[in-house]
Amino acid sequence: MAVTSFKTTCCIAGGGPAGMMLGFLLARAGIAVTVLEKHTDFLRDFRGDTIHPSTLELMHELGLLDEFLKVKHDKVDHLSGQIGNEVVTIADFSHLPTQCKFVALMPQWDFLNFLAAQGKRYPTFDLRMQHEAIGLIEGGVTGLRVKTPDGEIEIGADLVVGCDGRRSDVRVSAGLAVDNIGTPIDVLWFRVSRRKDDTAETFGHIEAGRLMVMLNRDDYWQCAYVIPKGGIDRVREKGLPAFRDAVVAMSPFLRDRVDELKSWDDIKLLTVAIDRLRQWHKPGLLCIGDAAHAMSPVGGVGINLAIQDAVAAANILAGPLKAGRVTNADLAAVQRRRMLPMKVIQWIQVQIQERVLSAVLASTKTPPVPWPVKMLNRFPVLRRLPARLVGMGIRPEHVRTLEQAR
Ligand SMILES: Cc1cc2nc3c(=O)[nH]c(=O)nc-3n(C[C@H](O)[C@H](O)[C@H](O)COP(=O)(O)OP(=O)(O)OC[C@H]3O[C@@H](n4cnc5c(N)ncnc54)[C@H](O)[C@@H]3O)c2cc1C
């Protein structure tokens, strides 16, 4: 039987980018915060490894940028693609009005470990690994039921924040209505070793019926091979040799190492979803990040949005949490602030999925370069716009100073 083990001011379910950033910022503001992460550590094969210029800007505002950049990372200052034999550049980060004019590619567990280490500098920061939120304490939401290695406990809280990703248990338990926008794609995720004489580019490659993105991770290529939604059985039926051939057809220079894909265990299926809650909150509860709005991998911007949500939530809620009076209006203010940036980015993702990705996957010959991409390739100044959307998003948030936060 569950027992109330303790009470905190804010209890966050999920130690991903949204939950860890929110936990850190609230602790920095002097608020008692408990972050629950169901896994033992942050080490998972797929976490999405992009740290955007806007997140690096937040690190600068927090006075942590120099320390953060000591963590091993690769810099991407532009995005390129190859459609058939034509190479196109579509985004140029080098003109952004930010301290760092690049996307840092860094294993997300390094980023989350960094936030955890920074959080632990504050006495009110309490991170609990292997703690899984399994239900809400109702009556207005007044806390979470939690599964731990030592049995089930209850944690009381003035505010519960669901940061538990796109399969959020919190939002299900809360019965919040979800609008499912749908998506025509899934992703196969695998790595192949990289040689020093390979191209240094992080790039996307489009051929007849196929699309693959390759991220340069120094000693390996992290590959994202896009397939039609639910198409994994067809890919498997054709067999592993056929899949390897398809990869080589996209990137012939992988021919001598594609055998590193020895079984289907080396290839992970990442199911893609786009959805959003109609209302992100109810009394005592707020959802942010993918728990409020699952993002597609298109553009690689979900982490950015999750972190921006966390900053907005911390800015708006730190005062009411300190005063012990978080109202529904405060929670609604977080949703109001973040709804438009999220909707615009989801709209763009849907357009790209439907107009470009679906068409490519259905094509039997190499598609022509779309005219907007031709324009970007021809007029370099235009590449600043996609760079801004990917690198900074819409309505970038800024961390309040410590005095404002307190
Ligand atoms: C195939 C694919 C590729 C993507 N690639 C990128 C990319 O390159 N760049 C990018 O910016 N975005 C990418 N995204 C989107 C990105 O992954 C998400 O938008 C982002 O991770 C959301 O962050 P979050 O903190 O809200 O949730 P998550 O990152 O999902 O974190 C949720 C955390 O909560 C924990 N958790 C879950 N349930 C519970 C529970 N009940 N109790 C306690 N803990 C729990 C999980 O273990 C996890 O640590 C991709 C998405 C997909 C599907």
Q: For the segment 143-178, what is each residue's pLDDT rounded down to a tens digit?
A: 999 999 999 999 999 999 999 999 999 999 999 999
Which atom of ligand 1 is closest in space to residue 47's alpha carbon? 17
The proportion of the chain whose per-residue pLDDT surpasses 70, expressed as a percent, equals 97
Residue 339, token pair as written in the block: 């709804």
pLDDT for 406? 61
* pLDDT tens-digit series, residues 290-338: 999 999 988 889 999 999 999 999 999 999 999 999 999 999 999 999 9
Residue 69 CA to ligand 1 center (angstroms) comes to: 22
Of 200 and 102, more confident: 102
Between the alpha carbon of residue 144 and those of residues 73, 94, 358, the distances in Å are 36, 44, 41
Neighbours of 217 (CB within 10 A): 16
Q: What is the mean pLDDT of residues 358-380?
A: 86
pLDDT for 47? 73
Q: What is the mean pLDDT of residues 364-385?
A: 87
Residue nearest to atom 49 of ligand 1 (CA): 16
Q: What is the mean pLDDT of residues 209-213?
A: 88
Residue 129 CA to ligand 1 center (angstroms) comes to: 16
Residue 175 CA to ligand 1 center (angstroms) comes to: 21
Pair 290, 307: CB distance under 8 Å: no
Query: Given pLDDT bands bounded at 50, 70 and 90, which one contains residue 257?
Result: very high
Which atom of ligand 1 is closest in space to residue 14's alpha carbon? 34
Residue 238 CA to ligand 1 center (angstroms) comes to: 30
Residue 289 CA to ligand 1 center (angstroms) comes to: 8
State whether the beta carbon of 23 lies less than 6 angstroms from ligand 1. Answer: no
Query: Given pLDDT bands bounded at 50, 70 and 90, which one contains residue 201?
Result: confident
Q: What is the mean pLDDT of residues 276-289?
A: 97
Of 308 and 217, more confident: 308
Which atom of ligand 1 is closest in space to residue 39's alpha carbon? 47
Residue 303 CA to ligand 1 center (angstroms) comes to: 7
Which atom of ligand 1 is closest in space to residue 290's alpha carbon? 26
Between the alpha carbon of residue 139 and those of residues 136, 164, 233, 285, the distances in Å are 9, 22, 45, 11
State whether the beta carbon of 44 lies less than 6 angstroms from ligand 1. Answer: no
Residue 311, token pair as written in the block: 């900053």
State whether the beta carbon of 165 lies less than 6 angstroms from ligand 1. Answer: yes
Residue 16 CA to ligand 1 center (angstroms) comes to: 6
Buried b (16+ CB within 10 A) or exposed e, 165-198: bbebbbbebbebebeebebbbbbbbbbbebeeee
Give the separation between CA 404 and CA 406, rounded to whole angstroms.
5
Pair 228, 361: CB distance under 8 Å: yes
State whether the beta carbon of 330 lies less than 6 angstroms from ligand 1. Answer: no
State whether the beta carbon of 54 lies less than 6 angstroms from ligand 1. Answer: no
Q: What is the mean pLDDT of residues 52-80?
A: 95
Range among 52-61, 192-201, 384-393 rated most confident: 52-61
> Which pairing describes strands 203-207 and 78-83: parallel, antiparallel, or unpaired?
parallel
Pair 81, 88: CB distance under 8 Å: yes
Distance of CA 98 to the CA centre of its chain: 20
pLDDT for 405? 60
Average pLDDT, the chain: 92
Query: How many residues would you count in the chain?
Result: 406
Check pLDDT > 70 for residue 1. Answer: no
Give the separation between CA 126 and CA 107, rounded to whole angstroms.
23
Q: What is the mean pLDDT of residues 64-83?
A: 92
pLDDT for 404? 66
Q: Candidates 211, 303, 353: which one to mutate for ligand 1, based on the most atoms within 8 Å of Cβ?
A: 303
* pLDDT tens-digit series, residues 30-61: 999 999 999 999 887 677 789 999 999 999 99
Query: Given pLDDT bands bounded at 50, 70 and 90, which one contains residue 361?
Result: confident
State whether the beta carbon of 169 lies less than 6 angstroms from ligand 1. Answer: yes
Residue 290 CA to ligand 1 center (angstroms) comes to: 7
Which atom of ligand 1 is closest in space to residue 42's alpha carbon? 49
Rounded to 10 deg, the angle between the 108-119 and 17-28 helix axes is 20
State whether the beta carbon of 310 lies less than 6 angstroms from ligand 1. Answer: no
Residue 38 CA to ligand 1 center (angstroms) comes to: 13
Q: What is the mean pLDDT of residues 96-106?
A: 94
pLDDT for 204? 81
Residue 206 CA to ligand 1 center (angstroms) comes to: 26
**Residue given tokens 């592993």 in the structure block:** 240
Pair 66, 127: CB distance under 8 Å: no
Query: Given pLDDT bands bounded at 50, 70 and 90, which one contains residue 272?
Result: very high
State whether the beta carbon of 35 lies less than 6 angstroms from ligand 1. Answer: no
Give the separation between CA 177 and CA 275, rounded to whole angstroms.
10
State whether the beta carbon of 272 lies less than 6 angstroms from ligand 1. Answer: yes
State whether the beta carbon of 11 lies less than 6 angstroms from ligand 1. Answer: no
